[in-house]
Chain A
Amino acid sequence: MSTRARNDLGPADDLGPANDLGHEKDLGLQRMTAWRSVAVVSLAGILVLLALPYVLSSYYLGLVIEMMILALFAMSLDLLIGYAGMASLGHAAYFGIAAYATGLTALRLGWDAWLAMPAALLAAALTATLFGLLALRTRGSYFLMITLALSQVAWGIAFGWRTLTGGDDGLPDVPRPHLGLPWSLADSTPFYYFVFVLVALGTLVLVRIVASPFGYALRGIRESETRMLALGYNVWRYKLVAFVLAATIAGLAGCLYAYYNRFVSPDYLHVTRSAEVLLMVILGGAGTMIGPAVGAALIVLLQNIVSTYTERWLIVLGVVYVLVALFAPSGLVGFVRDLRARNLRARKKARP
Chain B
Amino acid sequence: MTFWVVQTLNGISFGMLLFLLSAGLSLIYGLMKILNLTHGSFYLLGGYIGLVVVHATGSFVLAVIAGGVAIAVLGVVMERFFLRRFHLQELPQALLTFGFLFIFSDLATVIWGSNPQTMPKPAMFSTSIQIGGLYYPSYRLFIIAFGLVIAALLWWLQDGTRVGAMVRASVDDEEVARGLGINVSLLFTMVFALGAFLAALGGVMGGPIVGVYPGADFEVLLLGFAVVIVGGLGSLKGALIGGLLVGLLDNFGKVFFPELALFTIFAPMALILAVRPAGLFGRE
* Cβ < 8 Å to B, chain A residues 81-140: 81, 87, 89, 134, 137-138, 140
- B94 & A8 in contact (Cβ 8 Å cutoff): no
Q: A6-B88, A319-B99 in contact; A149/B110 too (CB < 8 A)?
A: no
Tell me which of B225, B233, B260 contacts A160 (CB under 8 A): B260
- Is A15 close to B, CB under 8 A? no
- B94 & A89 in contact (Cβ 8 Å cutoff): yes
- The smallest beta-carbon distance between A162 and chain B, in angstroms, is 8
- A149 & B266 in contact (Cβ 8 Å cutoff): yes
- A137 & B277 in contact (Cβ 8 Å cutoff): yes
- The smallest beta-carbon distance between B179 and chain A, in angstroms, is 13
- A138 & B90 in contact (Cβ 8 Å cutoff): no
Interface string of A135-166 (1 = CB under 8 A from B): 00110111011101110110011001110000
- Is B283 close to A, CB under 8 A? yes
Cα–Cα distance between A326 and B93 once the two chains are bound (Å): 10
Cα–Cα distance between A315 and B85 once the two chains are bound (Å): 22
Most A CB contacts (10 A, CB to CB) among B85, B101, B261 go to B101
Interface hit among B59-67, B133-141, B205-213, B267-275: B267-275
In the assembled complex, which residues on chain B have CB atoms less than 8 Å from the CB atom of A153?
262-263, 266
In the assembled complex, which residues on chain A have CB atoms less than 8 Å from the CB atom of B262?
152-153, 156-157, 160
- Is A51 close to B, CB under 8 A? no
- The smallest beta-carbon distance between B69 and chain A, in angstroms, is 24
Question: Looking across the interface, which residue of chain A has its beta carbon closest to that of B110?
Answer: A312
Which secondary structure dominates chain A's binding surface? Answer: helix
- A317 & B273 in contact (Cβ 8 Å cutoff): no
* Cβ < 8 Å to A, chain B residues 232-284: 233, 259-263, 266, 269-270, 273-274, 277-278, 283
- Is A278 close to B, CB under 8 A? yes
- The smallest beta-carbon distance between A345 and chain B, in angstroms, is 26
- The smallest beta-carbon distance between A313 and chain B, in angstroms, is 8
In the assembled complex, which residues on chain A have CB atoms less than 8 Å from the CB atom of B29?
141
- Is A5 close to B, CB under 8 A? yes
* Cβ < 8 Å to A, chain B residues 29-57: 29, 33, 35
Which secondary structure dominates chain B's binding surface? Answer: helix
- Is A209 close to B, CB under 8 A? no
In the assembled complex, which residues on chain A have CB atoms less than 8 Å from the CB atom of B218?
152, 271
- Is B96 close to A, CB under 8 A? yes
* Cβ < 8 Å to A, chain B residues 214-240: 218, 222, 225-226, 228-229, 233
Cα–Cα distance between A275 and B172 once the two chains are bound (Å): 32
- A8 & B89 in contact (Cβ 8 Å cutoff): yes
Question: Looking across the interface, which residue of chain B has its beta carbon closest to that of A271?
Answer: B218
- B91 & A322 in contact (Cβ 8 Å cutoff): no
In the assembled complex, which residues on chain B have CB atoms less than 8 Å from the CB atom of A142?
229, 233, 277-278
In the assembled complex, which residues on chain B have CB atoms less than 8 Å from the CB atom of A5?
33, 88-90
Question: Looking across the interface, which residue of chain A has its beta carbon closest to that of B259?
Answer: A160
- The smallest beta-carbon distance between A115 and chain B, in angstroms, is 29
Question: Looking across the interface, which residue of chain B has its beta carbon closest to that of A6?
Answer: B88
Interface string of A1-27 (1 = CB under 8 A from B): 111111111000000000000000000
Most B CB contacts (10 A, CB to CB) among A162, A286, A318, A326 go to A318
- B88 & A3 in contact (Cβ 8 Å cutoff): yes
* Cβ < 8 Å to B, chain A residues 293-307: none
Question: Looking across the interface, which residue of chain A has its beta carbon closest to that of B101?
Answer: A318
- Is A279 close to B, CB under 8 A? yes
Give the contact-size bracket for chain A. Answer: 35 or more
- B91 & A8 in contact (Cβ 8 Å cutoff): yes
- B273 & A138 in contact (Cβ 8 Å cutoff): yes
Question: Looking across the interface, which residue of chain B has its beta carbon closest to that of A154?
Answer: B262
Question: Looking across the interface, which residue of chain A has its beta carbon closest to that of B226?
Answer: A149
Question: Looking across the interface, which residue of chain B has its beta carbon closest to that of A150?
Answer: B266
- B174 & A325 in contact (Cβ 8 Å cutoff): no
- A326 & B85 in contact (Cβ 8 Å cutoff): yes
In the assembled complex, which residues on chain B have CB atoms less than 8 Å from the CB atom of A314?
102-103, 105-106
Interface string of B102-146 (1 = CB under 8 A from A): 111111001000000000000000000000000000000000000
Q: A2-B173, A312-B110, A317-B102 in contact; A146/B273 too (CB < 8 A)?
A: yes
- A87 & B92 in contact (Cβ 8 Å cutoff): no
- Is B86 close to A, CB under 8 A? yes
- Is B156 close to A, CB under 8 A? no
- Is A254 close to B, CB under 8 A? no
- Is B82 close to A, CB under 8 A? yes
Cα–Cα distance between A9 and B283 once the two chains are bound (Å): 26
- The smallest beta-carbon distance between A43 and chain B, in angstroms, is 32
- A152 & B222 in contact (Cβ 8 Å cutoff): yes
In the assembled complex, which residues on chain A have CB atoms less than 8 Å from the CB atom of B229?
142, 145-146, 149
- The smallest beta-carbon distance between A84 and chain B, in angstroms, is 14
Cα–Cα distance between A78 and B195 once the two chains are bound (Å): 32
A–B complex contacts, Cβ < 8 Å, 25 sampled: A1-B283, A5-B90, A137-B273, A140-B90, A141-B90, A142-B229, A142-B233, A142-B277, A144-B90, A144-B94, A145-B225, A148-B222, A149-B266, A152-B218, A161-B260, A279-B95, A314-B106, A317-B99, A318-B100, A318-B102, A318-B103, A318-B106, A322-B99, A326-B96, A329-B95
Known A161-B259, A315-B103; 12 more pairs at CB < 8 Å = A3-B88, A5-B88, A7-B89, A89-B94, A141-B29, A144-B35, A149-B229, A160-B260, A160-B261, A317-B99, A322-B82, A325-B99
5 shortest interchain CB distances as A-B pairs: A321-B99, A318-B102, A318-B103, A156-B262, A314-B106
Residues of chain B whose beta carbon lies under 8 Å from any beta carbon of chain A: 29, 33, 35, 82, 85-86, 88-92, 94-96, 98-107, 110, 172-175, 218, 222, 225-226, 228-229, 233, 259-263, 266, 269-270, 273-274, 277-278, 283
